[in-house]
Structure 1
């Protein structure tokens, strides 16, 4: 299917969904410190709590900020909720290990000076600023407490990080003993903003941006490694990947199509100056995927995918945001490989590299490809997580190293 002109207009004309960015107590503005792209509640690759939701539960989630600042605020999402969501209270603190926090750093979070907040169905909430000085690459723990039943939870499926659940109100517990249940997904938590004017980079994509194949709780996805390269520059990196995501078609399990979620997940991030796009491989792969999560799964052409990328480029340009095209990575030997799909990948990559329509190119394909004769279109074995499709932690490091930092900081 081709991207219709009305879709391009929709991407560029809809009003900003995020709340305004007021001045912080130190006189600066907000920049992105951490983020994740939210999805509708569903059963996916990992067991999760999204469909059952929570009832008299504390949910503790550990994140790593890629920005330095003195004040923080937390963003929560009920975008996929069908009823109002009542948060009884929340806290933030610096992490020690697991679900434990540094006692002296525990700060209650408030919302319009109240410890509780109700988010309408389809809505979000942003906490009041809290003073808690942090440095880039420091871990923080956010605890949410729901006294009543939440119903199904807006969440992020593939966190590659542990979330913790406990019965009752444990938002102020420095220790983690009460948190005996764990999950590898995120719940309701969509962002952390850090005070001070920031140059925010958003890595936007599918499971290869999301980090499938990385190490749980190790922060070794490609956006994490890129954040480490940029930590001293004042440029932060946010991960807006969704495993299984596609450019042209929605999925019940893998999020709205890239052209529909691009504004919310990329362009509305505070302080965003650059977006790196790595999308399209699932559009190519999914015609061979017969699972319910993959439908609809029409065969796509290179021209259709390029039209979708052009819609993203136009939306970014309309907001004055630099946009970098990531070449689609090798997948020969994977279960979903086809010669037709490889031809589409090569054609899309040729366009990304040579058309000049993106502001710059991150050549992830060449960074990960096996250069040995007879192995064209394959991942280098050292960069393969084992499925011939998703990179290993070493592969994610190679991807981060392939990004020209000048294109992100100039």
Structure 2
């Protein structure tokens, strides 16, 4: 992917006197491979682990059509394909039962290099352990990391995580919108090389919330988390193509010969200030659980607020949420900044992208006025350590309230693959 210096100049505006300097190296841990319940820590101080891939868990729901979250699984094998942003010689996974109604029994799990579809590459299947045993029970509301396993994987390589769920799980903690295909089979097929048994497919992720790697890049706090809503989540991008803007950012780092941990914690529909049953807990609540629990993170990019502005209108999925003023939205962002700074994490604020012609474009232009006022605050307040002006990057110069047609996924709010590439190109790698 080529980088546009013009877009970089137009899209990134550093706050005077502040830069996104890489933080010092972290010390190497002496016992990093034991299964452990996830903790809230900005950098897992002393950890050699980097996040290779991540997603935010959500409560079971079906806002966009049937999925497996509400019924859960019983004597099923679930196979999920994800792409890591940085490589290593060891791997471990994170599983979440945050929204489970009872204990979750994982009978077994494997990791392998992806071949095609539900198939994996011969000779790469590794059985994972949890505290040296192959099975683990995760309490309701809890999460767990597996032991580290020898597993060589390169940056931007796809890995397949397979879970065997012999016992009924009850409703499943999941991530609604994946832009990726997951697979299900009856019975135990965790070690299968071919995908013949996986006759069912879906487009959400279940229980899996992270893949971490070690033994590759030095253990330093240079990881990046992208935090936000559907535009961070990648709605509008092509399925199974890894073209979300965080994916494109990871590709730019890899092309420059310096792969980095770039983790996507976007949730479609998510708000900063309001919980929404189908779109996750409000950002000010989930930020500590999703962002600050990731290992060796030094920077977070925040792009969120358009659902706060538009979520109170008619025609939105689920029940409308309470109206949010610009002042309340700004207060929410200041709360996110405080949480990050308390853990030594730099924060990049992003302007909200155009909505003209979309389902959030009201006749009275109240939402547009709020978006403009919020963007003015992001650009001028100095509250963030740096600002990326995604609004200016993707808007139509002839009609600045509208997304450029070449970047429009056709719903007039979510970018397409080209739009997400432009957003990633607007971020200055040296400053990150």
What is the TM-score with the length of structure 2 in the denominator? 0.87
Q: Which runs of 5+ in 2 are unaligned?
A: 1-37
Pick aligned residue for 1:97 from 116, 138, 143: 116
Residue 228 of structure 1 is matched in structure 2 by 251
Residue 418 of structure 2 is matched in structure 1 by 394
Q: Which has the bigger relative contact order, CA under 8 A and spacing at least 6?
A: 2
Q: For residues 232-276 of structure 1, what are the alpha-carbon distances to aligned partners after superposition, in whole Å with 9 as ceiling and x for unaligned?
A: 324210000000000110011000000000011112111111000
1:51 and 1:271 mapped to 2: Cα distance? Answer: 34
1:20 and 1:327 mapped to 2: Cα distance? Answer: 26
1:349 and 1:89 mapped to 2: Cα distance? Answer: 47
State the Cα RMSD in Å. Answer: 1.6
Q: Is residue 304 of structure 1 aligned with residue 328 of structure 2?
A: yes
Pick aligned residue for 2:318 from 293, 317, 322: 293
Residue 73 of structure 1 is matched in structure 2 by 92
Shift of 1:291: 4.8
More helix by share: 1
Aligned structure 1 segments of 4 or more residues deviating by more than 2 angstroms: 15-23, 289-295
Residue 35 of structure 1 is matched in structure 2 by 54
Per the alignment, in what secondary structure is the counterpart of residue 287 of structure 1? Answer: coil
Residue 395 of structure 2 is matched in structure 1 by 369
2:371 and 2:60 mapped to 1: Cα distance? Answer: 31
Deviates further, 220-229 or 285-294: 285-294
Shift of 1:17: 3.3
1:92 and 1:400 mapped to 2: Cα distance? Answer: 29
**C-alpha contact 1:211 1:221 (8 A) present in aligned 2:** yes
Pick aligned residue for 2:159 from 133, 137, 140: 140
2:334 and 2:357 mapped to 1: Cα distance? Answer: 29
- Aligned residue runs from structure 1 range 58-137, under 5 A: 58-137=77-156
Per the alignment, in what secondary structure is the counterpart of residue 194 of structure 1? Answer: strand
**C-alpha contact 2:394 2:419 (8 A) present in aligned 1:** yes
Pick aligned residue for 1:253 from 278, 286, 300: 278
1:122 and 1:335 mapped to 2: Cα distance? Answer: 34
Q: Is residue 166 of structure 1 aligned with residue 185 of structure 2?
A: yes
Shift of 1:406: 2.2
Q: Is residue 357 of structure 1 aligned with residue 380 of structure 2?
A: no
**C-alpha contact 1:33 1:66 (8 A) present in aligned 2:** yes
2:375 and 2:281 mapped to 1: Cα distance? Answer: 23
- Aligned residue runs from structure 1 range 267-278, under 5 A: 267-278=292-303
Q: For residues 272-329 of structure 1, what are the alpha-carbon distances to aligned partners after superposition, in whole Å with 9 as ceiling and x for unaligned?
A: 110000000001111213456243x222221111110000000000000010001100
1:116 and 1:189 mapped to 2: Cα distance? Answer: 15
Q: For residues 87-139 of structure 1, what are the alpha-carbon distances to aligned partners after superposition, in whole Å with 9 as ceiling and x for unaligned?
A: 00010000011000012110001000100000000011111100111111000
Residue 178 of structure 1 is matched in structure 2 by 197
Q: For residues 334-393 of structure 1, what are the alpha-carbon distances to aligned partners after superposition, in whole Å with 9 as ceiling and x for unaligned?
A: 122131111111111111111111011111100100001xx1200000000010011011
**C-alpha contact 2:228 2:265 (8 A) present in aligned 1:** yes
Q: For residues 9-55 of structure 1, what are the alpha-carbon distances to aligned partners after superposition, in whole Å with 9 as ceiling and x for unaligned?
A: xxxxxx943799597xxxx7001100000000111214210000000
Deviates further, 301-310 or 40-49: 40-49
Residue 360 of structure 2 is matched in structure 1 by 336
